[in-house]
Amino acid sequence: MAPSKTHRNGEAGDFRYLGENGAHRRGAVHITYSSFDMQANVKLVKLFKRFKFRTFYTGNKATNGVAKIPGTSWAPKHHHHLHVGGHTYEVEDV
């Protein structure tokens, strides 16, 4: 498998989507699952943004080019995980 273009040197991470009632702790939660917790995932993206991350990918073919979570961008093959990257490398004491 070729090296990743979006994960070089650990510059990005993939996170399991959060599910209702801790469903993500028992297994994968896809954006199409009834256990997908939109409110929790929106909050997670906002927290990453607070810590200066700027790139977020969500979605799959079923969303037809529309990001699943507000404040994220659509990317294919992201139906089972949230891609987070684009950190500004600014350090802020919060």
φ and ψ of 93, to 5 deg: -85, 115
Domain ranges of the chain: 18-85
pLDDT tens digits, one per residue of 18-27: 999 999 999 9
Residue 61 has what pLDDT?
74
pLDDT above 70: residue 4: no
pTM, 2 dp: 0.84
pLDDT tens digits, one per residue of 23-59: 999 999 999 999 999 999 999 999 999 988 999 999 8
The 3-state DSSP class for residue 24 equals helix
Question: Tokens representing 84?
Answer: 């987070």
Strands 55-59, 13-15: pairing kind:
unpaired
Q: Token pair 């896809």 is at which residue?
A: 30
Residue 63 has what pLDDT?
67
**DSSP states along 30-50:** -TTSTTB-HHHHHHHHHHHHH
